A and B are shown apart, each in its own frame.
Chain A
Amino acid sequence: MTQSSETTAEQSIIDLDSVESGTSLWEDAWNRLQQNKLAMFGLYVVSFMIIIALLTPWITPYSYFEQDLDLGATAPSAAHWLGTDTLGRDLLTRIMYGSRISLMVGFLATAVALSIGVLWGTVSGYFGGRVDAFMMRTVDILYALPFTIFIILLMVVFGRNILLLFMAIGAVEWLTMARIVRGQVLSIRQQEYIDAAITMGLPKRQIMLRHVIPNTLGTIIIYVTLTIPNVILLESFLSFLGLGVQPPQSSWGLLISYGVETMEEYPWLLIFPAVVLSVTLFSLNFLGDGLRDALDPKASRD
């Protein structure tokens, strides 16, 4: 008993000394992330997907729109690794082109949601009182707008446009982000280190940037990793309704929804896009989990 407590005390001393080298928060986080195998797997998969998406036009021998009606739907073969669809188009090529749209929607719309949501939530939570009431009632009102009608209206007014799609999705997703961040900020606001910063005379903007927002990071990252898949699925829903991406362009959501129609005759048209989508979403979640742990300095001694 005494021996074990001695060793733990010793270990903690050694532990303390080993942190001596001047590591920044980000270096530290990177080191910790590398120790998390699942998160690194996620990082590799996501990076791979992004690189493939970027290089698609140069690495695929087929085009995504040229049809070969004589060929029709064929099972995976040496010429068409993942087979062809009912119009004779190479499925792998279409998945690769689809990833360009899906990933772009996922990341850009989330980035829009993230920047508006964090800013809105932080200001609202930090200032409180009437500012808070006004900003949060605005969010409530926007929440009450039916999403689909909102998108249709946007399409009617501005015409169909992929950029508009990002904006529309971002404009909806930031509402939840703002609420989550505000809740976090309300509790951080009560911490004494905020009072300490005020007594030092640190300007409000800097208090928010240096003390408040960094402490909401854990929650934000988790929510971002939940939002990206959400947005990718939302895009496929919109495309399915004919409001998003239009054929012959493709996205993962679109490929899956067409795959469902012919699932009994040509199952590979559903299976391959679905697998790619799931693997990406899983990887994003693993990566998000890992990032949250890595960015929490308290986790470093575990």
Chain B
Amino acid sequence: MNKAMKCTAGTAEQYVLLQVNNLVKHYDSRSGLWGKITGNPGSLVQAVDGVSLTINRGETLGLIGESGCGKSTLGRAILRLHEPTSGSVTFDGTDVTKLDADSLKKMRRRMQIIFQDPYASLNPRKTIEDIIGTALRLQGVAKSSDIRGCVTQLLENVGLKPDHMTRFPHQFSGGQRQRIGIARALALNPEFIVCDEPVSALDVSIQAQVIQLLDDLKRELGLTYLFISHDISVIGYISDHIAVMYLGDIVETGPTKQILTDPQHPYTQALLSAVPRVDGSGTGDRVKLTGDLPSPINPPKGCKFHTRCPYAKDECQLKKPEHHELKNGLTVACHLVTGN
């Protein structure tokens, strides 16, 4: 861990660590013998439909969107946990999607993931020492005495006691389990971590602690996060940049401050105005969304948001909007926002 600090801390120069280009992930159930026999066309789920993102080293990109919009799929496709259909993921100059099995294995140590469900993400039959130690052994820490030492260090880093290491996952609370998941991800000494809704399964009081921990670790170890969440207050706290996702597309990206104070895309405005406020302000100009999230099997033509957009024009149903950059640093995909 100390080694990691020396290696990565303080290298906060602005350079691109991860570049996602036009990434597509479709789940195809159309092919197959049964479909041919019955003539059932099946369905093509367009979970991620041509997403481009850029994350600078040492920064956190918050990815926000409704349930089912493809956030988690995007995170997993970046790590090739789900094989992307097309597009490229360039990590530190290497296209991850083109790596063979061996190189991918090496690359994976640099890219880790923290899962949403702290109960499903730890093998119930392994002790904590085993869970974290496996990662260390893969990394090349051979001697068992060294492994103990490293596990101790990692557990302390995430705020757990070293004598916790002989216990099984079920003996911990949700928040503690999530800390173990974090320690496991850190064990491989990664540069980039996908945080897939790491706090949404936790109590609100615990959420704050875990987010604080993630934020501290990022600063200490110079980590880069893709932070996936549907909670705008969490995203707003931890992110440097925010990307808003709707039905497999990124609709708006930009620096956190601009997105939170001056969002341009109607969907982002609706998301923000849906955040309840204690003082009752901001209720008057609330942008209300009607209807449900359309199915990603047959997404609407043109702008995917037109079915729920309060300002939709004819053009929106016909043409898919391009991304264009505005003066305040936002990039928006909407026909109504031209930026000039």
Q: Give A residues with C-beta under 8 Å from B.
A: 16, 19-23, 25, 191-193, 195-202, 210-211, 214-215, 217, 297-298, 300-301
Contact = CB atoms under 8 A, between A and B. Distances in A.
A89 to B, nearest CB: 50
Given A196-B184, A199-B108, A200-B108, A191 B79 contact: no
Given A196-B184, A199-B113, A215 B124 contact: yes
B301 interface: no
Contact of B170 (A192, A195, A298): A298
Nearest to A188: B123
A20 to B, nearest CB: 6
A195 B109 contact: no
Given A195-B115, A201-B138, A20 B166 contact: yes
Q: Which of A20, A192, A300: most chain B CB closer than 10 A? A: A192
20 contacts: A20-B167, A25-B125, A192-B121, A195-B76, A196-B121, A196-B181, A198-B108, A199-B112, A200-B134, A201-B105, A201-B109, A210-B134, A211-B123, A215-B124, A217-B125, A297-B125, A298-B168, A298-B170, A301-B170, A301-B171
Interface in B31-45: none
A134 B238 CA distance: 48
Interface in B149-184: 163, 166-168, 170-171, 181, 184
A200 B109 contact: yes
B262 to A, nearest CB: 37
B94 to A, nearest CB: 15
Contacts of B121: 191-193, 195-196
A214 B167 CA distance: 17
Interface of B: 76, 79, 81, 104-106, 108-109, 111-113, 115-117, 120-127, 134-135, 138, 163, 166-168, 170-171, 181, 184, 188
Contacts of A297: 124-125, 168, 170
Contacts of A199: 79, 81, 108, 111-113
Contact of B134 (A22, A202, A298): A202
Q: Which of B111, B116, B121: most chain A CB closer than 10 A? A: B121
A214 B101 CA distance: 25
B138 A202 contact: yes
Contacts of A298: 124, 168, 170
Contacts of B113: 195-196, 199
Nearest to B184: A196
Contacts of A301: 170-171
B173 to A, nearest CB: 10
Nearest first, the 4 closest Cβ-Cβ pairs linking A and B are: A192-B121, A201-B105, A192-B115, A297-B168
B125 A215 contact: yes
Nearest to A299: B170
B166 A21 contact: yes
Nearest to A12: B171
A211 to B, nearest CB: 5
A192 B188 contact: no
A15 to B, nearest CB: 8
A215 B135 CA distance: 19
A210 B104 CA distance: 21
B171 A201 contact: no
Given A210-B134, A215-B125, A22 B166 contact: yes
Contacts of A198: 81, 108
B288 to A, nearest CB: 35
A20 B165 CA distance: 9
B127 to A, nearest CB: 8
A201 B122 CA distance: 16
Contact of B120 (A193, A210, A211): A193
A195 B111 CA distance: 13
Nearest to A21: B166
B170 A193 contact: no
Contacts of B109: 200-201
A279 B120 CA distance: 40
Contacts of B134: 197, 200, 202, 210
Contacts of A201: 104-106, 108-109, 138
Contacts of A20: 163, 166-167
A88 to B, nearest CB: 56
A53 B104 CA distance: 55
A196 B121 CA distance: 7
Contact of B166 (A23, A202, A217): A23
Given A20-B163, A214-B125, A301-B171, A196 B106 contact: no
A127 to B, nearest CB: 14
Contacts of A21: 166
Contact of A193 (B116, B123, B127): B123
A195 B113 CA distance: 9
Nearest to B122: A193
B138 A19 contact: no
A193 B177 CA distance: 12
A94 B115 CA distance: 61
B314 to A, nearest CB: 44
B331 to A, nearest CB: 29
Given A197-B134, A201-B109, 5 more contacts: A25-B127, A196-B184, A210-B126, A298-B168, A300-B168
Contacts of A210: 126, 134
Nearest to B161: A20
Q: Which of B76, B115, B123, B170: most chain A CB closer than 10 A? A: B123
